[in-house]
Homo-oligomer: A and B are copies of this chain.
Amino acid sequence: MTDLMAIGDVSRKTGVKVPTIRYYEGIGLLPAPPRSEGNRRLYGGKAVDRLRFIRHARELGFEVEAIRELLDFAEQPQRSCAKVDALAREHLQAITSRIERLTALKVEVESMIKSCAKGRIAKCRIIDTLSRHEHCLHAEH
């Protein structure tokens, strides 16, 4: 009745690589599917949906543990989604602070490059900056 697929088909449909699908099964993110007589995994549409969800969330930078939680919540439709919202906000916070730190870093590396006169290494300002912490623009490290 149902149109079951081999792992390769699922991979092509979802963009998740074959070993990664097996890996997700191993860590319990994707339930173990039934097998064919020849011991091959046979997937239905639900597995495809779940993998798409996982892939998308991973692309958005959610960690596997967070995705596990999201999937758990997704399976209880009657519950409030406050927790889901909180998870997403937590994630947004992490992204924002990563951007902030990277931007500070960029400024520092840029100023390092600007001061480079392309002379001999003995006078290299880049090596200099990396050597002496007092020269930092930013104090937190």
A residues contacting B by CB (< 8 A) are 49, 52-53, 56-57, 59-61, 70, 73-74, 76-82, 84-85, 88-89, 91-92, 95-96, 98-99, 102-103, 105-106, 108-110, 112-113, 116, 118-122, 124, 126-127, 130-133, 136, 141
Contact of A99 among B70, B102, B132, B141 (CB under 8 A): B102
- Chain A binding surface SS class: helix
Tallying the copies of this chain within the complex gives 2
Q: What distance in Å separates the Cβ of A45 from its nearest Cβ neighbour in chain B? A: 13
Known: A76-B121, A84-B116, A98-B102. 6 other contacts (CB 8 A): A53-B130, A56-B130, A61-B102, A73-B124, A80-B118, A80-B120
